[in-house]
Structure 1
Amino acid sequence: MEEKLLAPLRDVPLPPSAVDLHRAVRDGRRRVRRRRIAATATAGLAVVAVLAAAPALVGRADRPTPVTPAIPPSPTAAPMPATAPAAFDPARQYAEFGWVPPVMTDRTVRTGTDQLALTASAPQTSPRPVKDAPAAELRIVSAGRDITLGIDRDFAVAAGRAGSAGLEPAEPVNGRTARWNTNAAVEPRSAALRWEYAPGAWAEVIVRHIPESAGDPRAVARRIALDLRYAVDWPIRLPVRFATPPAGLKPMAYLVSRMANDRWDVELSYGTGKRTKYGDWPLVVLMLPRKSTTGDDGVIGDPTSRIDGHPARRTSSLDGGASLQVYGVQGLYVEMTAHDKATLRKLGGNLDGLFRSATFHPEAHDWR
């Protein structure tokens, strides 16, 4: 949208500037991308930063304490693990939902080395987020880590750093210590239950906008917690495979959303364990099904060049990074960004080679 608004000025010479236009556009693209993800997974991690300040604004003195019935786990529930991983493999899924309310059919998984987030949500039919869509989110961290009390996109913190304000005693989850977290239960018909799923490691289930017909939100959260499956060790199936690991980098975080009507959204982050000075992972690859070859509210910028017959757009940043947007790739939109000069140098000075090394699988049933 920004591109279209500025179109009349496109040919007007600009004076030298210290403003990194590439980074400004990239940050705007990130916000647009998160709004799109939020529209399809209301409780997903893309919206948690917006809600992080909410606990301080919501009074709780007059909030009644719901009566939470004891709900036994279903026969499919896996036993609680004796130990937690020292670190997660971002390319694999450690835990999975067992039971969730049947209406929550959309799924989002966001992996990392010290945290995993799963979201189950009701399908969205509108391009704009539906504020009261029922959703459940699991947040789980590796050994020696804790979970922030608020709603944060990056929620893993060092053990003992989360604090205890707003925590209430809860019935143990499969024999393990548990607490109700009122800091995260800030939306209507919501509840947040955290427990020590393994010694020194915590998990939390947050449910939001639970319909009256489903019963008490705390009972729903507890039933989900009791029925989780640990150590499933599933590989994250993706719509792309690279011929070689990108620039010797390894997976650091994956975000994969799969929704109704064959909609999906994938963001892959690669690095060596250290973010850039701006907080980005060195290499980020974004893909979504999209046949249009122009920019709009979901994709910032119109193509200005081509690569292998596909409309494309190349931009660079003042810090030496660069982005490559490619439109109409077997019905996909593909965006690759090297967030620093060192990463771009490892890729041969541009992102064309990385794009050409990729094999795409646009149909979700063909993901590898």
Structure 2
Amino acid sequence: MRNPDRPDEPDEPDATSKTDDQVSALDEPDQLGALDEPDQVSALDEPDEVGESGEVHDADDEAARMLGVLRGYEPASADTVGLADAAVRAGRRRVRIRRTAATVAAAAAVVVTLFAVPLLDRDPSGRPSRPPEPVAGGFDARRHEFQVGSAGGFAPVSYESRRDVQRITLRPERPGGTLRADGLIEMYPRGGLPEGSGGRVPSGRPAPPVHGRPAYVLATPVLRAGAVELAWQWKPGAWGFVSLKGPGADATRAQRVALSVLPAGTLNSAPTSTPSSPPKTPGSPTPP
């Protein structure tokens, strides 16, 4: 634009106007902006061939490894299950056999003990080294567990066998003699006592031992009132009683009668199993 005040100066270009070069320059696309073109964006979005191909190969290797572990697995067949059941049954059978063998061995040991103990309890002649004792707590009511000899002028005339007591009746060996008393022997198992004792263990004046065991002359009779009675311990916890009543009865005769009482089998004779007979009453005839 020409300045009117300075005609000689050339006209200045209008700052607001653009030359053709400037317009063309402005109209040309920006080189940096060209990166935003679709081709450039697609190039950025393309995957990294090296990175992604490596990851794919790693996934394939992992899958192959896992399938390799399963390649040798075979599901249990019917034959395999049958073999397992057979093994279980065989194991149980072996356990039953071992238990049966242990039971048989224990029973055999008991049998050997039962046979060996009686043999050890005999002397060289084969006879028992000590008198056999009835089972504690009760007698065999079918057997006579004791044998009584003639002593003190008395002889046995009857035997009553019960589980709680063995009772023997005595009469004078010589009827019509000076001895006119009668006698009674009662033998009790361990823990047993006559009713008249009130459950109290015998006591009284000490008498000479009977077969090495304590004996007492009772101050108060427990079998028959007015009788002379002696009690002795025929084995630990078991007591025998002799009761003599009538003319000629005294503690000395009672002591002799007690000494004649022995467990059956002591004199090499087995206990008899004859039927028990009730005690005889005074004055009854003596059996032949």
Higher share of residues assigned strand: 1
Q: TM-score scaled to structure 2, two decimals?
A: 0.43
Instruction: Name the larger-Rg structure.
Output: 2
| TM-score of the pair, normalised by structure 1 | 0.34
Bigger share in helix: 2
